Structure 1
Amino acid sequence: MAIVGAEYCDPEERVLTVRKTSHFSPGDGFAAYDHRTGRLAFRADTYGRGHGGGAASAGELALLGPAGEPLLTVRRRRPSLHQRWEGFLGARAGGQKPLFSARRSSILGGAAAGAVVELLPPPSSSPPPGAAPELLRVDGSFARRCCRVVAAPRAEGEKAKLVAEIRRKVDEGTRVVMGRDVFVLKVSPGFDAAFAMGIVLVLDQIAGEEPGADDAGADALDAKIW
């Protein structure tokens, strides 16, 4: 499922260790490292400031590759009661159509509000008449670093498919659960890891550090994923 690019779709499960790089405000920065190689895979920093390193303009979020190349730009759509966000390929240019839109599942918010992501057709193509949009749903609580991203069934009889999962990071030596500033992103085989990181950026803005996002029950995620 290539959204940003086929090169980000690994045939095997890809595990990223994601570290929040700033505490000044929710979403100031992230660095994601590949579990197999230990190398930097993605980063998101200086967005919303409009300077350096391929950063987005003020009010936008930029997902960058390890060399600073812009992969995705995410911005909040205003006005929006559900905190609706749009994602664009690369460094967004004027008039560019979004790749996807995302919104909070519930207008009431809360630590476990979840989110819905809708994939949008490319500008050069039109969906068949009556075709349902491809939807992804985030179940659980990103604020607690315990949630799943699942693809909605496209046809009768199909099941929802797990495409990515966010979990708390456990120190392999001491078996101690680390703080929420370091977590694990597991990307299912064939799913676009850059797109998964784009969803993380949106979730950080939608959920952030919501009041009540304590550690209690962080591992108790409902088995039903749709």
Structure 2
Amino acid sequence: MAIVGEEYCAAEERVLTVRKTSHFSPGDGFAAYDHRTGRLAFRADTYGRGHGGGAASSGELALLGPSGEALVTVRRRRPSLRHRWEGFLGARADGQKPLFSARRSSILGGAAAGAVVELLTPIPSSSSAAELRVDGSFPRRCCRVVAAKADSGREAVVAEIRRKVDEGARVVMGRDVFVLRVSAGFDAAFAMAIVLVLDQIAGDVADGGDGGDDTNSIGIW
């Protein structure tokens, strides 16, 4: 399922180690590394708090490739009672139509409110996955992206987020470092875009307050 590009759809499962960064302010930005090669695969930077330049304008979040090329630009749509976000292919230009729209599914509630994502630009291969949802808790770094295949009616896990485990020390690392598993054939760049949207909509729950049995539910049509 290519959404951002065919080059991000690997023939085998792709495992990324994702780290939240604080280049601009605490909690802003991500860096994702390929588990097999150890190389930087994606990074995301926020330019919304007095930091200009780069691929994104004020108030936007840019998903970049390893060379700094803009893959997806995410921005909050205002005014919005449900924290609606829009994603644009590449570096957003004036008048450009969004690739997808994301919003919190309920006006009330925080991390447990869930979200809905809609593809707004026709994707030739989207018929193979008419619906996606995120089951589990993103703040706890324990959730999965499930796609319902229109041709068979079956569901398949296309991406999964889990806490990172230090195998040597046999300890679970903090929530600032986690693992994103992307199934074979699914767009890894779009999977990272979903991560950015979940982080912006749900927000991080402060240490010691995971918010109970919070669940994010996302559907893409």
- How far apart, CA to CA, are the structure 1 residues paired with 2:154 and 2:132? 13
C-alpha contact 2:112 2:213 (8 A) present in aligned 1: no
**Which of 108, 111, 134 is equivalent to 1:138?**
134
- How far apart, CA to CA, are the structure 2 residues paired with 1:168 and 1:65? 23
User: Residues 168, 217 of structure 1: CA spacing in aligned structure 2 closer, same or farther, 3 A cutoff?
Assistant: farther
- 1:83-94 matched pairs, under 5 angstroms: 83-94=83-94
Deviation at 1:161, TM superposition (A): 2.1
Deviation at 1:105, TM superposition (A): 2.9
Letter paired with 1:142: F
Letter paired with 2:169: T
Measured against aligned partners, the alpha-carbon deviations of 1:158-210 in whole angstroms (never above 9, x if no partner) come to 12221111110000112200000000001111010011111111111111123
**Which of 180, 192, 216 is equivalent to 1:185?**
180
- How far apart, CA to CA, are the structure 2 residues paired with 1:217 and 1:95? 40
Which residue of structure 1 lines up, in the alignment, with residue 54 of structure 2? 53
Letter paired with 1:191: F
- How far apart, CA to CA, are the structure 2 residues paired with 1:190 and 1:148? 16
Question: What's the TM-score once normalised by structure 2's chain length?
Answer: 0.85
- How far apart, CA to CA, are the structure 1 residues paired with 2:115 and 2:188? 18
C-alpha contact 1:63 1:72 (8 A) present in aligned 2: yes
Q: Name which of structure 1's ranges 38-47 and 184-193 shifts more when overlaid on structure 2.
A: 38-47
Deviation at 1:215, TM superposition (A): 9.1
C-alpha contact 1:116 1:138 (8 A) present in aligned 2: no
Letter paired with 2:70: P
User: Residues 111, 200 of structure 1: CA spacing in aligned structure 2 closer, same or farther, 3 A cutoff?
Assistant: same
Which residue of structure 2 lines up, in the alignment, with residue 200 of structure 1? 195
Measured against aligned partners, the alpha-carbon deviations of 1:83-111 in whole angstroms (never above 9, x if no partner) come to 11111010000111111111223332333
Which residue of structure 2 lines up, in the alignment, with residue 40 of structure 1? 40
Spell out structure 1 runs of 4+ moving beyond 6 A.
Answer: 215-218
Q: How many residues align?
A: 212
User: Residues 53, 10 of structure 1: CA spacing in aligned structure 2 closer, same or farther, 3 A cutoff?
Assistant: same
| 3-state DSSP of counterpart to 1:88 | strand
User: Residues 64, 96 of structure 1: CA spacing in aligned structure 2 closer, same or farther, 3 A cutoff?
Assistant: same
Deviation at 1:72, TM superposition (A): 0.5
Give yes or no for the alignment of 1:214 onto 2:215: no
| 3-state DSSP of counterpart to 1:106 | coil
- How far apart, CA to CA, are the structure 2 residues paired with 1:216 and 1:84? 24
Q: Which runs of 5+ in 1 are unaligned?
A: none
C-alpha contact 2:52 2:58 (8 A) present in aligned 1: no
C-alpha contact 2:47 2:53 (8 A) present in aligned 1: no
Measured against aligned partners, the alpha-carbon deviations of 1:59-99 in whole angstroms (never above 9, x if no partner) come to 11100011111110011112222211111010000111111
- How far apart, CA to CA, are the structure 1 residues paired with 2:167 and 2:149? 36
Question: What's the TM-score once normalised by structure 1's chain length?
Answer: 0.83
RMSD of Structure 2 on Structure 1 (CA): 2.9
Q: Alignment identity in percent?
A: 77
User: Residues 192, 33 of structure 1: CA spacing in aligned structure 2 closer, same or farther, 3 A cutoff?
Assistant: same
